[in-house]
Amino acid sequence: MSDARPAGDPGRLEVRILRKAFVAASGERAEVLRDMTFGLDRGLIGVLVGPSGCGKTTTLRIIAGLDADYQGTVVRPAVGRLGVVFQEPRLLPWRTVEDNVRLVAPGADPAKLATLFDVLELTHHRSHYPGELSLGLARRVALARALAVSPDILLLDEPFVSLDEALAARLRDELVTLVDNRTLTTLIVTHNVDEAVRLADRVFLLSARPARIVVEVPIPIPRAARTAGDIASIKAELARQLGAATGMPSTITSNVQRW
Amino acid sequence: MARLASLVIFIAAWHIASDLAGEQLLPAPITVASTIVAEARSGVLFFNLAVTLTRVFIAFALAMAAGTAIGLLMGRVMLADRLGDPWLIVLLNLPALVIIILAYVWAGLTEVAAILAVTVNKLPNTVVAIREGARALDRGLDEMAQVFALPRWKILRHVVLPQLAPYLATAARSGLSLIWKIVLVVELLGRPNGVGFEIGIAFQLFDVTRILAYAMAFVAVILAIDILLVQPLERRASRWRPRTA
């Protein structure tokens, strides 16, 4: 029973998933999400962190409207355009980089697109086909495509996974530059706590299956001002709160860093 | 170069075989060639080729269009597949001759009946090929199109059809050859003109030279279509694929 109605604050994302289950090929019902409840104000970056396979992608798919088979409600901004970066770039191999982006955003201002390509260092690849790109570049194209539609909500599913750390760090910076210049609500899914702490205005820690939010931590320090020390202490704080919430000693919960 | 060599070998073998079998059964290549020239000079050849080609193209266009639509539907919608599958098996296995004769009996010896009979013969092959392609469509790209709210015609043009291109090419290739063979039968049985009609007359007169002349002329036309039209289209459709060394 899904249901989407306009929210009170038109920019706020409101997620209340009571239950989501899959029926496996063997006929067994597996419950993936239970009481997954959270909200995110307009203009903020929220990051969902949890162990792999816990249901993060499922949550994102429900929010994106790709899966209507769940109990609960998801309220997206009333006239919100949606931008999604999937885990795989999902580009059309038979269209050039530029055509891939223009296809979803036919009304986009050429000057804005040029800036977008420029910030993501794609200018020289506009006429290339996705098969000619590295994974890092293809990810950038997927990011450019999602931003080209001028989204009100941006959903990213492990956007930097399987890239080397230096490249991931660069892409994270580019993402932050692009997102901070607009008013859009961003939700990122990752298993990388470090990434979460660097990017988020709010971090949501997920439990194992059936997943729900166990800890929600706002990070008031502006992204650009976060020092290595800040990041370490926020991570320690996350581990402590996770320990308090689940009753596990913090020696175990500090493993959260290796999720 | 290799193609040319294979052509030379073919003509040489034909010449030798004709010497052994005698002009009556298998006329020499030069005899056939001069008949082609004579028929071309009188204009009969071109008239008949044009008539037959027109029928081929109309039937081809109809079968490809309808077959693609039905194939997509059956590949994407489970219910359509279940409902359509028995029909498909019947059509696939119904002999061409039965369809042609029934069409002529029910609709008379008309142009419409002829073209319809050919179309129905080709239709199931197209459906099967396109259905296979539709089943293999990338779900990830579907979802991408959905979240970015692409309009239907854009999805068809930019997401679905490029994925179907290899299947469409296969269906078109096998389709063209199948259709021209069936068109000849249709013409033989119930049309007053066309390559099939001419071959029917030649058969009654036991004129093997004429039969070969018309067959060769038509094969040349089909070959030209393949080289000048089908192959460039295929190259264009696959230009995004990374070149293999």
Mutate to test the interface with B, among A104, A129, A157 (most CBs of B within 10 A): A104
B141 and chain A in contact, CB less than 8 A: yes
Q: Is the pLDDT of residue A6 over 50?
A: no
Rg (CA), chain B: 22
Would you state the pLDDT for residue A8?
A: 55
Please give the CATH superfamily to which domain B48-137+144-237 belongs.
MetI-like (1.10.3720.10)
CA separation (Å) from B127 to A82, A203, A239, B86, B157?
A: 36, 51, 58, 13, 19
CA B203 to chain centre: 24
Beta strand segments in chain B, E: none
C-alpha to C-alpha distance for B97 and B103, rounded to whole angstroms: 10
Would you state the pLDDT for residue A3?
A: 46
For residue A7, the surrounding DSSP H or E stretch is none
Model confidence, pTM: 0.78
Q: Kindly compute the dihedral angle of the four CA atoms of residues A125, A126, A131, A136, in this order, to the nearest 10 degrees.
A: 50
Structure-token pair, residue B44: 């009969």
Query: pLDDT tens, A126-173?
Result: 999 998 998 889 999 999 999 998 888 999 998 888 788 888 888 888
A93 and chain B in contact, CB less than 8 A: yes
Question: What is the ipTM score, two decimals?
Answer: 0.83
In the DSSP assignment, the letter for residue A30 is E
Would you state the pLDDT for residue A53?
A: 78
Question: Chain A closest CA to B147's CA: distance in Å?
Answer: 7
Interchain proximity B158–A95, CB inside 8 Å: yes
> In this structure, is residue A165 part of a structural domain?
yes
A90 pLDDT band, cuts 50/70/90, is very high
Interchain proximity B148–A82, CB inside 8 Å: yes
Instruction: Please give the residue of chain B at the shortest CA–CA distance from A127.
Output: B240
Instruction: Please give the residue of chain A at the shortest CA–CA distance from B159.
Output: A92
- In this complex, which of A66, A103, A131 lies closest to B147 when CB atoms are compared? A66
**Residue whose pair of structure tokens reads 């202490």 in the numeric block:** A233
Domain residues for the domain of A48 are 42-68+78-229
A14 pLDDT band, cuts 50/70/90, is confident
Would you state the pLDDT for residue A4?
A: 47
B153 and chain A in contact, CB less than 8 A: no
> In this structure, is residue A235 part of a structural domain?
no
Interchain proximity B143–A90, CB inside 8 Å: yes
Q: Can you tell me whether residue A8 is helix, strand or coil?
A: coil
> In this structure, is residue A246 part of a structural domain?
no
Q: Is the pLDDT of residue A257 over 80?
A: no
CA B112 to chain centre: 18
Would you state the pLDDT for residue A79?
A: 67
C-alpha to C-alpha distance for A61 and A156, rounded to whole angstroms: 10
> In this structure, is residue A5 part of a structural domain?
no
**Which A residues in the span 103-162 are in contact with B, Cβ-Cβ below 8 Å?**
103-104, 129, 131-132, 145, 149
Query: pLDDT tens, A161-199?
Result: 878 888 888 888 888 888 887 788 899 999 888 888 888
State what percent of residues in chain A have pLDDT above 70.
90
Please spell the DSSP secondary structure of A175-189, one letter per residue: HHHHHHTS--EEEEE
pLDDT 10s per residue in chain B (245 long)? 788 899 899 999 999 999 998 888 899 999 999 999 998 899 889 999 999 999 999 999 999 999 999 999 999 899 999 999 999 999 999 999 999 999 999 998 999 999 999 999 999 999 999 999 999 999 999 999 999 989 999 999 999 999 998 898 888 888 888 898 899 999 999 889 999 999 999 999 999 999 999 999 988 888 888 888 888 887 877 777 776 54
Instruction: Please give the residue of chain B at the shortest CA–CA distance from A147.
Output: B148
Question: Chain A closest CA to B10's CA: distance in Å?
Answer: 40
A249 pLDDT band, cuts 50/70/90, is low
Asked if A63 and A16 touch (Cβ cutoff 8 Å), the reply is no
Interchain proximity B143–A131, CB inside 8 Å: no
A196: domain CATH number?
3.40.50.300
B236 and chain A in contact, CB less than 8 A: no
Question: Chain B closest CA to A246's CA: distance in Å?
Answer: 36
Chain B residues within an 8 Å CB radius of A131: 240-242
Give chain A's domain count. 1
Question: Chain A closest CA to B14's CA: distance in Å?
Answer: 45
| Residue A219 burial (C-beta neighbours within 10 Å; 0-12, 13-18, 19+) | buried
Instruction: Please give the residue of chain B at the shortest CA–CA distance from A128.
Output: B240
Interchain proximity B240–A84, CB inside 8 Å: no
Asked if A82 and B147 touch (Cβ cutoff 8 Å), the reply is yes
Q: What is the mean pLDDT of chain A?
A: 84
What is the CB-side half-sphere exposure of residue B50 using CA atoms within 13 A? 6
> In this structure, is residue A110 part of a structural domain?
yes
Would you state the pLDDT for residue A192?
A: 86
C-alpha to C-alpha distance for B230 and B161, rounded to whole angstroms: 16
C-alpha to C-alpha distance for B18 and A30, rounded to whole angstroms: 75
Would you state the pLDDT for residue B22?
A: 86
Would you state the pLDDT for residue B13?
A: 93
Asked if A24 and A30 touch (Cβ cutoff 8 Å), the reply is yes
Asked if B151 and B134 touch (Cβ cutoff 8 Å), the reply is no
A1 pLDDT band, cuts 50/70/90, is very low
Question: Chain B closest CA to A94's CA: distance in Å?
Answer: 5
Chain B residues within an 8 Å CB radius of A88: 140
Among the listed residues B237, B114, B89, the one whose alpha carbon sits nearest the alpha carbon of residue B179: B114
> In this structure, is residue A109 part of a structural domain?
yes
Q: Is the pLDDT of residue A78 over 80?
A: no
Interchain proximity A131–B241, CB inside 8 Å: yes
Interchain proximity A103–B147, CB inside 8 Å: no
> In this structure, is residue A242 part of a structural domain?
no
Would you state the pLDDT for residue A2?
A: 44
Q: What is the mean pLDDT of chain B?
A: 90
Q: What is the mean predicted confidence (pLDDT) over A237-241?
A: 84
C-alpha to C-alpha distance for B182 and B176, rounded to whole angstroms: 10
Chain A residues within an 8 Å CB radius of B159: 92
